[in-house]
Amino acid sequence: GENVEQHPSTLSVQEGDSAVIKCTYSDSASNYFPWYKQELGKGPQLIIDIRSNVGEKKDQRIAVTLNKTAKHFSLHITETQPEDSAVYFCAASRGGKLIFGQGTELSVKP
């Protein structure tokens, strides 16, 4: 079955710097890759997703890149702000159930 590895487990950056979180997946048939942000005490929220027919997608300060050959995808956050501090999860799917990474705790220091 699918396996998703996420790195790093914790990430600390200064406000204004960029943050990058990386995920690798094992099932080459996976074709959908969402990213979730979970703030303390809340449910995860979808922040951006990408499908396998696209290599990159951007939404304001957030972007996701996908390398199907290498089976990895990354979340890029530019000009980080304190409110970006949260736990981020990547996931992969080829239909139906999502397989999640282990999560990355991002801390943005003012």
Partner 1 sequence: SQTIHQWPATLVQPVGSPLSLECTVEGTSNPNLYWYRQAAGRGLQLLFYSVGIGQISSEVPQNLSASRPQDRQFILSSKKLLLSDSGFYLCAWQHGTGGADGYTFGSGTRLTVV
Note the residues at the interface with partner 1 (CB under 8 A).
31-32, 34, 36, 38, 41-46, 49, 51, 87, 89, 93-98, 100, 102-103, 105
Classify strands 86-92 and 72-77 as parallel, antiparallel or unpaired.
unpaired
CB atoms within 10 A of CB 104: 22
Q: How far is the CB of 80 from partner 1 (least distance, A)?
A: 19
Alpha carbons 94 and 91: distance in angstroms, whole number: 11
Which is nearer to partner 1, 13 or 98 (by Cβ)? 98
Which is nearer to partner 1, 84 or 103 (by Cβ)? 103
Which is nearer to partner 1, 59 or 79 (by Cβ)? 59
